[in-house]
Amino acid sequence: MKQSDIKTPYYLIDENLIIKNLEILKSVSDKTGAKILLAQKAFSMYSLYPLIGKYLAGTTASSLFEAKLGHEEMPGTETHIYAPAYSDEDFSEIIKICDHIVFNSFSQWNKYKNIVSGTGIECGIRINPEYSEIETDIYNPCFKGSRMGVTLRNFEHSNLDGISGLHFHTMCEQNSDVLWRTVQKVDEKFGKYIKNMKWINMGGGHHITREDYDIELLCKSINYFSDKYGVAVYLEPGEAVALNAGYLTSSVMDIINNEIDIAILDTSAACHMPDVLEMPYRPNVIDAGNPGEYPYTYRLAGPTCLAGDIIGDYSFKEPLKPGDKITFCDMAIYTTVKNNTFNGINLPSIVLRHQNGDTELIKTFGYQDFKSRL
Ligand SMILES: *Cc1c(COP(=O)(O)O)cnc(C)c1O
C-alpha cells in the first residue's frame, strides 16, 4: 500500500526505528546480563511483539489485560506484573499467566501469599526509596503521600519469606546520571534487604535510546547491584522501546483567523495525543519550526469541541491550505494505548512501515468502535 493512499489521520510505526532501539537495549543486556522487559503501558502494538521478543526478555504489565496480551503475543518470554492492588477475580487469572508478580504493599502480599505459594511464581515488593528527581508530580512516584510502593518506615523486614525480589520505579524520561544517584539511595536504605533477594527490578523511565543517553553509566548502575549483591537486574522501559519510532499524520481541514491563523486538523490533542495536554508538551512537526522561525505561523488545533484542543503554534515555509498533510513526531509511545473517542472523533488508523519500506495498514477504526464502548 502506498503511504500517500492512506486516509488520515494515521499513526505510522517504523520497524527500522524500532529495531534500532531494540539493538541498543539488547546491547545493554549483552554487556551486563540485565534482563530488559517491554513495559506495555507505553507501547502495546502486539503485531511487533514477535520482533520485540527476539531482543528483550519479555513483557511487564500494569493490569490483567496487559499481562494477557504479553502472554498471548510474546509467548516463551517472561511475563511480569505490577499493580497498586489486585482484585481476587483478576488475581486468579494472573497466577495462570505471570511468572513474576510485584506487590505494592505488605497487605496485598499477605492477602495473596498463600495462593502463590508452591506455584513457582516469583514474588516481589515494590519499594519507595523516597528519592526521585522528577519535577512534575503526576509522573513522580515519590511525591509526598504517593501510593506507589512501600517506604522504609513501612517495610516489614520480617515478612519477606517467599519474596524473591524488590522493585523500584522512580524515574521518568531520565538519563543514567539520575539512575546512578538513585541506585546509591536505594542501596543506603534497602541494601540490607537486597542482599537476600534473587533480583532487583529498576523499573522504567530510562531514556536509554535517546541520542545523548549515557549507556556506560547505565551499565555501571546495573553492575553496582549485581556485583555487590549477586542479584539479577531487570529493567522495564516503555518509552525507550519505541522512542522516536512513530509518527501521527493528519490533514488540514480548514484555516481560520482569530488574532492568529489557526489550522483545524483531522487529529485531536485530546483524543489522539493526550499527553500533549496532560504532560503538557509540544510535539515536533516535520518541516515546521517555532512560531516566527519561518514566514507562516499557525496554531494547530483539533476537530473536537474542547476549546483547549490545541497542539501548539508552529511556523511553516509555505502557507498551509486545506488538504495539506501535517506529521507529528515521536507518536509511537503513550498514544495508541491512551487515545480515546471523546466527542465521537474516530481513532487514527495504525500503519506499519516494514523494514523493506512497504507500508501495511494494521488497523482501521469506525463508528462501531465508538458505539461499542458506551
Ligand atoms: C510506566 C512504567 C514503566 C515504563 O515507564 P517508561 O517511562 O515508559 O519507561 C515501567 N514500570 C512501571 C512500574 C511503570 O509504571
pLDDT tops 90 at residue 332: yes
> Residue 1: pLDDT above 90?
no
In ligand 1, which atom is closest to the CA atom of 206? 9
Model pLDDT for residues 57-75, shown as the tens digit of each residue: 999 999 999 999 999 999 9
Cβ atoms of 170 and 203 closer than 8 Å: yes
| For the chain, percent of residues with pLDDT exceeding 70 | 100
Pocket of ligand 1 (CB under 6 A): 39, 41-42, 62, 82, 169, 172, 203-205, 236-240
Q: Is 239 annotated as a binding residue?
A: yes
Q: Where in the chain is the domain with CATH 3.20.20.10?
A: 33-242
pLDDT per residue as tens digits for the range 274-294: 999 999 999 999 999 999 999
Expressed in angstroms and rounded, the spacing between residue 169 Cα and the centre of ligand 1 is: 7
Residue 292 burial (10 A CB sphere; 0-12, 13-18, 19+): exposed
Q: How far apart are CA 232 and CA 32, in angstroms?
A: 10
Average pLDDT over the chain, rounded to an integer:
97
Give the number of the atom of ligand 1 that is nearest the alpha carbon of residue 333: 8
Q: Is the pLDDT of residue 45 over 90?
A: yes
CA distances from 144 to 129, 147, 183, 203 (A): 12, 9, 20, 19
Q: What is the Cα–Cα distance from 310 to 290, expressed in whole angstroms?
A: 15
Return the residue matching grid coordinates 487515545: 339
Please list the residues that pair with 312 across neighbouring strands: 300
* C-alpha 295 – ligand 1 centre gap (Å): 40
What is the second-level CATH architecture of the domain 33-242?
Alpha-Beta Barrel (3.20)
CA dist., res. 222 & res. 53, Å (int): 21
Nearest residue to 333 (alpha-carbon basis) of 256, 246, 224, 249: 246
pLDDT the model gives residue 244 = 98
What pLDDT is recorded for position 14?
98
For 334-357, write each residue's pLDDT tens digit.
999 999 999 999 999 999 999 999
Angle at 321 between CA 316 and CA 323, to 5 degrees: 115
State how far the Cα of 299 lies from the Cα of 318, in Å rounded to an integer: 15
pLDDT in tens, 119-140: 999 999 999 999 999 998 999 9
CA of 31 to the centre of ligand 1 (A): 22
Q: How is residue 316 written as a grid cell?
A: 511553516
Could you tell me if 146 and 128 are in contact, meaning their C-beta atoms sit under 8 angstroms apart? Answer: yes
d(CA 123, CA 351): 38
CATH 2.40.37.10 domain extents, the chain = 3-11+246-331+339-371
Q: What is the pLDDT of residues 83-120, one digit of tens each?
A: 999 999 999 999 999 999 999 999 999 999 999 999 99
Q: Tens digit of pLDDT for each residue in 157-206? A: 999 999 999 999 999 999 999 999 999 999 999 999 999 999 999 999 99
Give the integer Cα–Cα distance in Å for 347 and 334.
Answer: 14
Cα(285) to centroid of ligand 1, in Å? 26
Residue nearest to atom 3 of ligand 1 (CA): 204
Residue that is written with C-alpha cell 522561525 in the block:
293
What are the beta bridge partners of residue 255? 263
Report which residue type is found at 294. Answer: Y
Task: Provide mean pLDDT across the span 239-261.
Answer: 98
Contact between 170 and 205 (Cβ < 8 Å) = yes
For domain 3-11+246-331+339-371, give the CATH superfamily.
Answer: Lyase, Ornithine Decarboxylase; Chain A, domain 1 (2.40.37.10)
**Closest residue CA from atom 7 of ligand 1:** 205
